[in-house]
Amino acid sequence: MSFKFELTDEVTYVKGVGPRRAAALEKLNIFTKYDLLTHYPRTYENHSSLTKIGKILEGETVLVVGRISNITSRETSNRLTIINATLVDETGYIQLTWFNQKYLLTKLVNGMRLLVIGKAKFDSWSGRLSLNQIQSFTILEPDEEPELGIMPIYPSTAAISQQVLRTAVKNLLATMPPLKEILPQELIEEQNLISLDEAARAIHFPKDFLELDRARRRLAFDELFLIQCGLMLIKRQTQDERLGISHKKNGALVKAALEKLPFDLTGDQKKVFKTVTKDMESKLPMRRLIQGDVGSGKTVIALLALLKTVESGYQGAFMAPTEILASQHYEKFSALLTDLGIRVGLLSAKITRSKKLKEDLYQKISAHELDIIIGTHALIQEGVQFAKLGLVVTDEQHRFGVMQRATLEKKSDFVPDMLVMTATPIPRTMTLTVYGDLDVSLIKELPPGRKPIKTESKSIRSRKKVYEFVRTEILAGRQAYVVCPLIERSESEMLANIEPAEEIFDMLSNGIFRYIPCGLLHGKMKPRDKEDIMEKFHSGETKLLVSTTVIEVGVDVPNASVMVVEHAERFGLAQLHQLRGRVGRGAAKSYCILISDSKANVAKARLETMEATNDGFKLAEVDLKLRGPGQFFGEAQHGLPDLKIADVFRDVEILIQARDAAEKFITDDENLNYFAGLRENLALAYGDKFGQITAN
């Protein structure tokens, strides 16, 4: 998008956006005109023709215009507000129903004209058709003609209506001068793209679906192209030989650690460590991604690589995605390494809360009084200066952005080696493109003696039996997890009838587990409380841990042998597999029980796949096929900066085209003359970070 001064104007400069609406827009992260322009529709509705009320058929989604009357509201026993009204036109009338939108009572007035979009259902109570899945409605002036065509539906909140958003975008487009082209003309022709200006407008109000498609392709291409250029530059920059570190050959420390480990490395671990050793000894900076299923033993590789950097005279940093994981790694590493004279430090939120502790730690890092520093993203905060950073390991990389990796890299005069580890089974095309700047190693083999986790899918009717089984396991000395999709009940979830973690915890700790110490863990807790709960479970003080997915990554409690997942149909297969990896880490036979109430075939098929295989990569494939790419990973998981329009799964083809084009573009534009212009656009879209990386 062209870096035009007026697009950085505040959104209040758009006609119709006053301070109140601006405040509502802020909640959607819309601050400037640019933000509004790139607040792309979530989906579209085809409103090309109106239906007369008398002609509505059951099951149809229709667009109707009429006058409302008989507005009534009532509350159900579970505090749900239901609003009813009648909509009339010259051919008949139909009942409208809104669930749980009490605020509408202040908006709807008898006699008003409405344009309503909803799905017609047969209401067995009244014996008539009714519109009870109302997707949206617009209040019309007495003689206003309804607007027909393809309607954008924006991501929104209750505070701002679709209509207001549409009008704001329309007003912006009406006053906006044509956007300047940002791509070279040859590239536009070669890729058969429409102009940026056309695309930016058509994405909001397309004439037809063909135009919409072309607009989306253009904008997705731009987005992916810019990011790929950024990735290429990171790669090019770090390929500069003079900047890399040649680590020394493996010495006494690595050897001592290998001897101290209570096990031998598996074949795959040996192979991967050998590759890592070679990378680290080479002058070229290491950029390696290790993919290995949960429990495949990636941490040991990290440990050995960190020791290698230490014995070559450098410091190593180990970045974990959560506090819990960071302190868990810290404990394990300290236990093993303190004897060997290695100074290990933990940079956690707990420490950075105290100014004194923080400064003390920063000072030790910059004075090389610590050899290995473990932490969360606190490691890449301003102010952390390493004396001699030789290696950076990031665990569960999909939680970190490419940008964050690059920031850490800048903490050093020379380029440290980098190792990233992930259990997310990313399909190969993805690793090639999204992680374009990394080499990939796989750990396929699991450590010996692992018993496969027995997975069973159960209906909610068997819940009591399931928990009786869990109790037996606990009484035999084991521990158990119960995972729930939500923390607390929100209004929308009430409809879906999902029991949140808090309620399940109450039900269990006051019921069947009354005499057994239980804990509750969720993401909204204070870090200190989380650590506390986790510590108690880790030490075996609590036996049952009810939790949301915060325990998904990496937590290691070998004595836990059972996991129950409530409402399992709400999770993705890849995610269930990650969760399941929390058990089966000790000697005891382990179980994963998936409770669901879903009768849908797709959901059933998915859970059956979980029973049938323990192979994370296979599950990922099935997930992709069954659910489609959009839901495959949570959005935040691909590690790219927020994508506004492209979808790395759905748009693989565009991604590959953009990648090839970027490669050629960066190679041809040796001195980055042309790129200087593009960089402004990167800065506008992704903030300073990308700009800094590409600046030198």
Binding site for ligand ADP (CB under 6 A): 263, 265-266, 269, 292, 294-300, 423, 447, 554, 556, 585
- Angle CA 543–464–576, to nearest 5: 65
Phi, psi of 556 (to 5 degrees): -125, 100
Cα–Cα distance, 60 to 431 (Å, whole number): 42
Shortest Cβ 271–ligand ADP spacing (Å): 12
> Choosing among Mg ion, ligand ADP, none, which partner's interface includes residue 294 (Cβ < 5 to 8 Å by kind)?
ligand ADP
| Position 230 contacts Mg ion (CB under 5 A) | no
> Choosing among ligand ADP, Mg ion, none, which partner's interface includes residue 567 (Cβ < 5 to 8 Å by kind)?
none
- Angle CA 162–168–171, to nearest 5: 140
Residue nearest to ligand ADP (CB): 297
Burial class (CB in 10 A: 0-12, 13-18, 19+), 553: buried
Shortest Cβ 667–Mg ion spacing (Å): 37
Cα–Cα distance, 131 to 120 (Å, whole number): 5
Phi, psi of 341 (to 5 degrees): 80, 20
Stretch that binds Mg ion, among 34-42, 169-177, 554-562, 662-670 (CB under 5 A): 554-562
Residue placing its CB nearer to ligand ADP in the complex, 152 or 295: 295
Cα–Cα distance, 574 to 615 (Å, whole number): 10
Q: 225 and 658 in contact (C-beta within 8 Å)? A: yes
Three-class secondary structure of residue 140 per DSSP: strand
What's the number of CA atoms in the CB half-sphere (13 Å) around residue 505? 21
Burial class (CB in 10 A: 0-12, 13-18, 19+), 342: buried
Shortest Cβ 305–ligand ADP spacing (Å): 13
Cα–Cα distance, 486 to 547 (Å, whole number): 9
Stretch that binds Mg ion, among 61-69, 546-554, 575-583, 687-695 (CB under 5 A): 546-554
> Choosing among ligand ADP, Mg ion, none, which partner's interface includes residue 147 (Cβ < 5 to 8 Å by kind)?
none
- What residues numbered 8-47 form the site for Mg ion, per CB under 5 A? none
> Choosing among ligand ADP, Mg ion, none, which partner's interface includes residue 13 (Cβ < 5 to 8 Å by kind)?
none
Shortest Cβ 348–Mg ion spacing (Å): 17
Q: Which residues pair with 595 in a beta bridge?
A: 458
Cα–Cα distance, 307 to 315 (Å, whole number): 9
Residue placing its CB nearer to Mg ion in the complex, 485 or 554: 554
Please give the DSSP secondary-structure letter assigned to residue 97. E
Shortest Cβ 242–Mg ion spacing (Å): 34
> Choosing among Mg ion, ligand ADP, none, which partner's interface includes residue 292 (Cβ < 5 to 8 Å by kind)?
ligand ADP
Stretch that binds Mg ion, among 146-154, 242-250, 552-560, 608-616 (CB under 5 A): 552-560
- Residue from 41, 244, 285, 554 in contact with Mg ion (CB under 5 A): 554
> Choosing among ligand ADP, Mg ion, none, which partner's interface includes residue 269 (Cβ < 5 to 8 Å by kind)?
ligand ADP
> Choosing among ligand ADP, Mg ion, none, which partner's interface includes residue 349 (Cβ < 5 to 8 Å by kind)?
none
> Choosing among ligand ADP, Mg ion, none, which partner's interface includes residue 265 (Cβ < 5 to 8 Å by kind)?
ligand ADP
Shortest Cβ 292–ligand ADP spacing (Å): 5
- Angle CA 538–542–548, to nearest 5: 75
Phi, psi of 448 (to 5 degrees): -65, 155
Footprint on this chain of Mg ion (rule: CB under 5 A) = 554
